[in-house]
Structure 1
Amino acid sequence: MDLEAVRTFVAVAEAGQFQKAAADLSITQQAVSKRIATLERTLGVRLFTRAARGAELTIDGQAFLPHARELLRVAERAGASVRPGRRPLRVDVLASRSAQSGLMRGFHRAHPEIDLDVMMLFDIETAVTAIRSGAIDASFRAVAAPGRPVPEDIASVRVLDEPLQLLTGPAHALAGAQSVTLAQLVGHRIWMPGIAPGTEWAAYYDDLVAEFGLTIEATGPNFGSDALLDTIADTPALATFMGEPTRLVWPAGHGLRRIPVTDPTPVYPHSLLWHRDNPHPALATLRTHLAATTTGHDTTGTWTPSWAIPR
């Protein structure tokens, strides 16, 4: 059904005259007549009768009018759902308790007037595909891992360097340390079952292992953060890495320790990715917010892999 014809029908019904409806719609009276005739042919009924006072609705026209108005309302809502500035800003974060999620919570506090849809995609290929298709407006990722150059139509900016800390149970050999160096971690088993082969975070930890001789194990199924915390608390031989901004809650009886890592401090590089042609006005607001609230990169005493940009 032609929505312009439906809109014209409603205009005539409200104006009571073809001539006034034409003026209201900024079209000719002939165009109004053609649109009404087309709609009547589509519906198979007459919608108006000519009268001395103008155009009067037939019984069928009266029955169709409320539905026509609803059609126009639905069309407006459908357009608004995808219109930049009218629909929510859709942003991908890796996990609900991740540093990226914390950045988005800070953005929401600073700009509560902006509607947000926060989602969680798995890998960078999925995220880039979603950015290109318009399914999302932006994604937080580590770029550019070996073999994964950022496509030319995708823009990126480094927004956060996330320091890693060591998380141990109370009986671990390093549990009492105020801080540990990467050299002190050599020979200790660091268990991280969430490392999936082929991901950007797998590339990060591969480089960390290669450069500092660490032992990082990704064995066993990933049952989530609760299972990880339970295992670390109960296993003196295991520790894990956790981002400093990551906020996890565990039972007081676990006695877990968060220990800063130094000399150097490994930091995970988070970048914001978006399509260069994305016109959503809130995207620029998000970039401005992140630029104003995040710290510098590649600071003295920190380590990131050589492929992280910028360098």
Structure 2
Amino acid sequence: MDLQQMRYVVAVAETRNFTRAAERCSVVQSSLSHRIASLERELGVTLFARSSRRTELTSAGAAFLARARECLAAADRAVADAAAAAGVVRGRLAVGVIVTTAAVDVPELLQRFRARHPDVRVLLRAGGSDELVAAIRAGDLDVAFLGLPEDARPAGVESLVLDHDEHVLVVPAGHRLAGARRVTLREVAGETFVDFVAGTAARAQSDQAFAAAGLARDVAYEAGVAELITRLIARELGIALLPSAFIRPLAADDPALALVPVVDGPRRVECLAWSRFNPSPATRALLDVLGVRGPTG
């Protein structure tokens, strides 16, 4: 058994097709198929159930796949650590980002990072804060930019607060509150709301603020991305509370939206999170570009 056979198994598992897997691995299909068949004989198990139309992992294949990925990740880390010891940062850097990130200009940050470390392959993944923290703990992400309720901090990872922010009310330009100097949660509790999906950290920020004020509200529309929320508001389907640092630049270019300060509205923190267990050289390099001098494992 060797690492190349493991890479072939991962490729077939992810593409569910021997031809596409061979193309991904830049080998002819017959060679890839032969190497996987040889591995199956060595292991004494069948890794894939094959037919003329479908290729799926067997239970043995699924068990092997999980450990194969761990072995390949360890091999990649070994190469990266050896290069780092020689003063060169290589390998993979997986970065998670929430869609409302505003404390850091992520593209500009990655531009500076690439200028210093051109041999690092950067993978970006968007998602909710809770999902991204779980991915760091599982080893699928190296770092993530998060947005959380003001008194919350991500568990099981290292983290650094980047900025504090408050939400503003976002209403259609023709709404009765457009142009108001400020409002309270009680004044808007009877409105129809658009918000993020229930159970997410992005949604919790508004839910906790209304709960603290002893108020209930009607969330008629739930969306996974802020862009859809603003489009629903522009169509006069509801109003929303969104982080001010994120929404102000967007609203400035959108005459269909109006922003109103909220006296007792939600507040959030933007955080940077990374693994507390032996961060990779690429992770340490990104922290250095950011000027982070906190613990790095």
TM surpasses 0.5: yes
Task: Give the 3 Å change call, closer, same or farther, for CA 205–137 of structure 1 in structure 2.
Answer: same
- Counterpart amino acid of 2:125? M
Q: Confirm or deny: 8 A CA contact 1:143 1:150 kept in the other structure.
A: no
CA distance in 1, matches of 2:279, 2:102: 22
Q: Which residue of 2 aligns with 1:138?
A: 143
Matches within 5 A, 1:50-69: none
Percent identity, aligned pairs only, is 23
Structure 1 residue 253, shift from structure 2 partner: 8.0
Structure 1 residue 244, shift from structure 2 partner: 2.2
Q: Which residue of 1 aligns with 2:198?
A: 196
Equivalent of 1:119 in 114, 122, 125 = 125
Q: Confirm or deny: 8 A CA contact 2:94 2:142 kept in the other structure.
A: yes
- Counterpart amino acid of 2:80? R
Task: Give the 3 Å change call, closer, same or farther, for CA 240–190 of structure 1 in structure 2.
Answer: farther
CA distance in 1, matches of 2:147, 2:254: 35
CA distance in 2, matches of 1:187, 1:144: 20
Task: Give the 3 Å change call, closer, same or farther, for CA 227–281 of structure 1 in structure 2.
Answer: closer
Q: Secondary structure at the match of 1:270?
A: strand
**TM-score, normalised via structure 2 length:** 0.55
Matches within 5 A, 1:1-311: 79=76, 83=80, 85-95=89-99, 98-99=100-101, 102-113=104-115, 114=117, 115=120, 116-122=122-128, 124=130, 126-142=131-147, 150-151=155-156, 154-177=157-180, 179-182=181-184, 185-189=187-191, 191-197=193-199, 199-213=200-214, 215-222=216-223, 224-235=225-236, 238-246=238-246, 255-261=256-262, 263-264=263-264, 266-288=266-288, 290=290
Task: Give the 3 Å change call, closer, same or farther, for CA 109–164 of structure 1 in structure 2.
Answer: farther
Q: Confirm or deny: 8 A CA contact 2:143 2:274 kept in the other structure.
A: yes
Q: Secondary structure at the match of 1:160?
A: strand
CA offsets 1:57-115 (integer angstroms, 9 cap, x no match): xxxxxxxxxxxxxxxxxx9xx748972531232111122xx215954224224433244
Q: Confirm or deny: 8 A CA contact 2:190 2:218 kept in the other structure.
A: no
| Gap regions ≥5 residues in structure 2 | 4-71, 82-88, 293-297
Q: Which residue of 1 aligns with 2:47?
A: none
Task: Give the 3 Å change call, closer, same or farther, for CA 161–81 of structure 1 in structure 2.
Answer: farther
CA distance in 2, matches of 1:169, 1:290: 37
Q: Confirm or deny: 8 A CA contact 2:148 2:201 kept in the other structure.
A: yes
Task: Give the 3 Å change call, closer, same or farther, for CA 129–210 of structure 1 in structure 2.
Answer: closer
CA distance in 2, matches of 1:245, 1:120: 18
Structure 1 residue 265, shift from structure 2 partner: 5.9
Structure 1 residue 157, shift from structure 2 partner: 1.7
Larger Rg: 1
Number of positions where the alignment pairs a residue of Structure 1 with one of Structure 2 = 210
CA distance in 1, matches of 2:113, 2:91: 15
